[in-house]
């Protein structure tokens, strides 16, 4: 569009050159008229003849004026055209550059890659396209403000530029996405690995921006137009190269971020499957395919049922019953975890209303939800709206919540506990919470991760870690729950360690709301709420499980 306009303007200016044409014609006429007028003037000067014709003189003067006018107009026009051309050139240059970092932008990068690719192939070199995407940059922006975010991007671009070789091109493709292309000897792809590792070192070193220390991590995908055999004709253009690098970058993200991968063709299928899962999750959320299951929690000493942990399940029409290990990380990535969690809690509150009021309900809360400063308020509001007593609710958070913003997490825990909600530290032992954090954070309970409990199954395994965690809990005055109790031997061993709560397959697999009702009814622990119509339950849930699908997803 802009180019079209430019063309039109220049075209118009050039048409104005007609003015020059008029001047030229005026000169020719001037020569004609001037010939006879000047002859008359010369004759009159020597007293011969009657002098020049007045009309002709006037015509000649007019001619001179026209010549001067035409000439000046021509000069003005040509300087105007020059200025315009310079401005267009400047605009074109700017349109190729990212204004924030001075790198190439997405559009010019595509063009430059194509050119570099042609050039390097002519010289028998390979070309690597390296896609860089910052991890959780939105969070950095949200927490520190966009001004700091911008400064970080500028500093990052400078660090990358400094470490790249001269023949590499760096671009900012938009937001927190960068890329560079670099020719290399196709037989030595390890040079690209070295380069990328160096970039990781420089880009992830601490940033000091306006008295603020910030750390960044990034995920990187690499694609090349050469394989082990040499030039890869499948990568027929720069576009494909970029696409492959993008896929490899997503793979790095899905594998846990802060790492890099070379593109491999199988990644394309994974990405397709992942996209299908994403769409499926969004759709499933809107049509209510996510349901709560419940796992019993037992007082190990008395063997009494004391409550349930709610565990999310996805009843997908295509995939069968899907495990939360598959869909929770995706729901976190695509930003629907809060919504999903809220929907499940509302259902669980409704289910638990009919239970013996002594039974507690535990729910797992994702670290992403804990980043929301309004989380505690939202949860308390939910409790009020659904008339669920706060003291029956226990939330389980993992140690990874503590890395993000301990101060905020601490105040959130405090306000929830003030209202009577209990807070336990889940999967304890698998993260990195320091003793200092444990001492200063007011948890109501520690849950020993099931990986430590399953160690106890081994007859000659030592119970030292579990022992140590139990005495740590005693020292900090935090009661303990052991997860993943699968057999009587483990149970017996745990019983010797003090008064613990426990849960695991020994007591049964997680069950549907309907199955829980039956269990409680048999135990005389179901309170029929006359004023509440129980939510419609689907008791056929477990029978729809498709083990084949599950295995495929889990792999």
Q: Which parts of this chain interact with ligand C2E (CB under 6 A)?
A: 295, 311-312, 323-325, 328, 341, 344, 364-366, 426-427, 450, 483-486, 503-505, 510
Q: Which is nearer to ligand C2E, 344 or 520 (CB)?
A: 344
366 binds, among Ca ion, ligand C2E, none (CB under 5 to 8 A by kind): ligand C2E
CA neighbor of 263 nearest in space, from 273, 251, 248, 274: 248
Residue 292 Cβ, how far from Ca ion at the closest point, in Å? Answer: 13
Q: Which is nearer to Ca ion, 173 or 328 (CB)?
A: 328
User: Would you count residue 511 as binding Ca ion (CB under 5 A)?
Assistant: no
341 binds, among Ca ion, ligand C2E, none (CB under 5 to 8 A by kind): ligand C2E
510 binds, among ligand C2E, Ca ion, none (CB under 5 to 8 A by kind): ligand C2E
Q: Which is nearer to ligand C2E, 101 or 341 (CB)?
A: 341
Residue 120 class from Cβ within 10 Å (0-12 exposed, 13-18 middle, 19+ buried)? buried
Q: What one-character DSSP code corresponds to residue 354? A: T
β-pair type (422-428, 393-398): parallel
Interhelix angle 337-352/266-287, nearest 10 degrees? 40
Distance CA 539, CA 520 (A): 15
Three-state SS at 290: strand
Q: Which is nearer to ligand C2E, 134 or 344 (CB)?
A: 344
Three-state SS at 119: helix
Q: Which is nearer to Ca ion, 396 or 511 (CB)?
A: 396
Instruction: Judge contact between 354 and 517, C-beta under 8 A.
Output: yes
Instruction: Judge contact between 174 and 106, C-beta under 8 A.
Output: yes
Residue 309 Cβ, how far from ligand C2E at the closest point, in Å? Answer: 7
Q: Which is nearer to ligand C2E, 63 or 503 (CB)?
A: 503
328 binds, among Ca ion, ligand C2E, none (CB under 5 to 8 A by kind): ligand C2E
CA neighbor of 502 nearest in space, from 440, 447, 443: 447
Which helix (H) or strand (E) is 489 found in, with range? helix 488-495
Q: Which is nearer to ligand C2E, 324 or 498 (CB)?
A: 324
Q: Which is nearer to ligand C2E, 103 or 490 (CB)?
A: 490
Interface region with Ca ion, contact rule CB under 5 A, candidates 279-287, 339-347, 402-410, 424-432: 424-432
Residue 396 Cβ, how far from Ca ion at the closest point, in Å? Answer: 4
The interface with Ca ion within residues 467-486 (CB under 5 A) comprises: 483
Residue 445 Cβ, how far from ligand C2E at the closest point, in Å? Answer: 13
Q: Which residue has the tokens 């991760």?
A: 449
In the set 225, 399, 426, 511, which binds Ca ion (CB under 5 A)?
426
In order of 129, 424, 437, 439, the CA distances from 407 in angstroms are 41, 17, 11, 14
323 binds, among Ca ion, ligand C2E, none (CB under 5 to 8 A by kind): ligand C2E
Measured from each CB, the residue nearest to ligand C2E is 504
Alpha helices in 335-440 (DSSP H): 337-352, 367-370, 375-385, 401-404, 406-418, 435-440
3-state helix, strand, coil in the chain (%, to 5): 55, 20, 30
Terminal C-alpha separation, the chain: 50
In the set 98, 135, 246, 427, which binds Ca ion (CB under 5 A)?
427
Q: Which is nearer to ligand C2E, 219 or 362 (CB)?
A: 362
User: Would you count residue 133 as binding Ca ion (CB under 5 A)?
Assistant: no
Instruction: Judge contact between 134 and 217, C-beta under 8 A.
Output: yes
Three-state SS at 201: helix
Residue 235 Cβ, how far from Ca ion at the closest point, in Å? Answer: 44
Q: Which is nearer to ligand C2E, 43 or 342 (CB)?
A: 342
- Cα maximum dimension of the chain: 144
β-pair type (445-448, 226-227): unpaired
Q: Which residue has the tokens 């009919």?
A: 354
Interface region with Ca ion, contact rule CB under 5 A, candidates 167-175, 389-397, 414-422, 436-444: 389-397
Three-state SS at 34: helix
Residue 246 Cβ, how far from ligand C2E at the closest point, in Å? Answer: 28
Residue 394 Cβ, how far from ligand C2E at the closest point, in Å? Answer: 12
Residue 424 Cβ, how far from Ca ion at the closest point, in Å? Answer: 8
3-state SS string for 129-187? EEEEEECCHHHHHHHHCHHHHHHHHHHHHHHHHHHCCCCCEEEEEECCEEEEEEEECCC
389 binds, among ligand C2E, Ca ion, none (CB under 5 to 8 A by kind): none
295 binds, among Ca ion, ligand C2E, none (CB under 5 to 8 A by kind): ligand C2E
Distance CA 153, CA 400 (A): 26
Cβ neighbours around 201 below 10 Å, total: 11
Residue 366 Cβ, how far from ligand C2E at the closest point, in Å? Answer: 4
User: Would you count residue 396 as binding Ca ion (CB under 5 A)?
Assistant: yes
Q: Which is nearer to ligand C2E, 216 or 345 (CB)?
A: 345
Q: Which is nearer to Ca ion, 246 or 426 (CB)?
A: 426
Question: Rounded to the nearest 5°, which phi and psi values hold at 467?
Answer: -55, -45
Residue 505 Cβ, how far from ligand C2E at the closest point, in Å? Answer: 4
The interface with Ca ion within residues 339-378 (CB under 5 A) comprises: 364
Residue 99 Cβ, how far from ligand C2E at the closest point, in Å? Answer: 40
Residue 439 Cβ, how far from ligand C2E at the closest point, in Å? Answer: 24
Question: Rounded to the nearest 5°, which phi and psi values hold at 402?
Answer: -80, -15
Three-state SS at 394: strand
Q: Which is nearer to ligand C2E, 364 or 515 (CB)?
A: 364
Residue 478 Cβ, how far from ligand C2E at the closest point, in Å? Answer: 17
User: Which residues in this chain contact Ca ion in the complex, by CB under 5 A?
Assistant: 364, 396, 426-427, 483
């Amino acid at each position: 569009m802009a180019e079209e306009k430019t063309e039109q303007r220049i075209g118009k200016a050039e048409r104005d050159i007609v003015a020059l044409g008029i001047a030229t014609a005026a000169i020719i006429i001037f020569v004609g008229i001037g010939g006879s007028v000047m002859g008359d003037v010369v004759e009159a000067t020597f007293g011969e003849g009657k002098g020049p014709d007045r009309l002709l003189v006037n015509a000649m003067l007019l001619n001179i004026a026209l010549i001067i006018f035409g000439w000046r107009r021509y000069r003005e026009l040509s300087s105007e055209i020059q200025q315009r051309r310079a401005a267009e050139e400047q605009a074109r240059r700017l349109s190729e550059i990212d204004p924030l970092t001075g790198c190439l932008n997405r559009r010019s990068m595509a063009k430059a890659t194509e050119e570099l690719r042609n050039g390097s192939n002519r010289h028998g070199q390979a070309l690597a396209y390296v896609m860089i995407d910052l991890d959780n940059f939105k969070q950095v922006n949200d927490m520190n403000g966009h001004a700091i975010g911008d400064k970080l991007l500028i500093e990052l671009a400078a660090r990358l530029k400094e470490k790249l070789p001269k023949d590499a091109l760096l671009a900012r493709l938009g937001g927190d996405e960068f890329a560079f292309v670099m020719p290399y000897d196709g037989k030595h792809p390890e040079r690209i690995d070295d380069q990328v590792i160096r970039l990781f070192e420089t880009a992830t070193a601490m940033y000091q921006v306006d008295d603020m220390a910030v750390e960044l991590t990034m995920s990187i995908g690499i694609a090349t137009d050469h394989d082990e055999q040499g030039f890869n004709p499948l990568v027929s253009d720069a576009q494909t190269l970029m696409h492959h690098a993008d896929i490899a970058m997503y793979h790095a993200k899905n594998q846990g971020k802060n790492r890099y991968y070379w593109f491999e063709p199988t990644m394309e299928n994974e990405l397709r499957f992942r996209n299908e899962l994403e769409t499926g999750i969004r759709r499933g959320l809107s049509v209510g395919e996510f349901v709560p299951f419940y796992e019993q929690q037992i007082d190990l000493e008395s063997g009494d049922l004391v409550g349930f942990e709610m565990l999310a399940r996805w009843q997908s029409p295509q995939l069968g019953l899907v495990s939360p290990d598959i869909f929770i990380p995706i729901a976190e990535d695509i930003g629907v975890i809060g919504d999903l969690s809220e929907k499940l809690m509302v259902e669980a509150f409704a289910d638990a209303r009919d239970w013996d009021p002594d039974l507690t309900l535990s729910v797992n809360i994702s670290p992403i939800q804990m980043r929301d400063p309004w989380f505690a308020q939202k949860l308390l509001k939910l409790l009020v709206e659904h008339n669920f007593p706060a003291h029956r609710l226990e939330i389980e958070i993992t140690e990874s919540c503590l890395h993000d913003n301990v101060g905020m997490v601490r105040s959130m825990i405090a306000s929830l506990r003030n209202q009577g909600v209990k807070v336990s530290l889940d999967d304890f032992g698998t993260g990195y919470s320091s003793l200092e954090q444990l001492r200063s954070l007011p948890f109501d309970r520690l849950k020993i991760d099931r990986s430590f409990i399953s160690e106890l199954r081994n007859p000659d395994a030592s119970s030292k870690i579990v022992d140590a965690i139990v005495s740590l809990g005693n020292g900090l005055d935090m009661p303990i729950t052991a997860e993943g109790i699968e057999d009587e031997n483990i149970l017996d061993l745990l019983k010797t360690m003090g008064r613990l709560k426990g849960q695991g397959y020994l007591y049964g697999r997680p069950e549907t709301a309907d199955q829980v009702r039956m269990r409680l009814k048999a135990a005389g622990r179901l309170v029929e709420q006359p004023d509440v119509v129980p939510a419609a339950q689907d008791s056929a849930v477990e029978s729809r499980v498709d083990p084949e699908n599950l295995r495929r997803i889990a792999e």
